[in-house]
Amino acid sequence: MLAKARIVAEISRIIRARRLTQTAAAKILGLGQSKISALLDGHFRGYSQERLIWLLSRLRCDVEIIVKLPPRRRTNGRVSSAFA
């Protein structure tokens, strides 16, 4: 859920930075305005992480997923996200 929340926060940041109305964002994202409103209000349980990543791509963002081995001192992997 934290990863999804971070993606939604980035979607919200992009919409604000581009000064898009919810109606304009809805048109770009292929969703209804009410869905955009709910998403930006934090109601994203019905969205998969893949769908949220797809929404980022609709906002003209490149998304990279990198898989690598952890350092030897760590026995388990970890998941992180970064937004530039």
CATH number at residue 7: 1.10.260.40
**What is the chain's length?**
84
What range defines the domain where residue 42 resides?
Answer: 2-58
Whether 30 maps to a domain, the answer reads yes
Whether 81 maps to a domain, the answer reads no
Q: Which residues of the chain have pLDDT under 50?
A: none
Whether 75 maps to a domain, the answer reads no
Whether 71 maps to a domain, the answer reads no
Give the per-residue pLDDT at 10.
Answer: 94
Rounded CA-CA distance 24/14 in Å is 13
E strand or H helix at 6, and its extent? helix 2-17
Q: What is the pTM of this model?
A: 0.81
| One-letter amino acid of 79 | V
Whether 82 maps to a domain, the answer reads no
Give the per-residue pLDDT at 64.
Answer: 87
Structure tokens that stand for 40 in this block: 């930006």
Give the per-residue pLDDT at 55.
Answer: 97
Whether 53 maps to a domain, the answer reads yes
Give the per-residue pLDDT at 28.
Answer: 96
Number of domains in the chain: 1
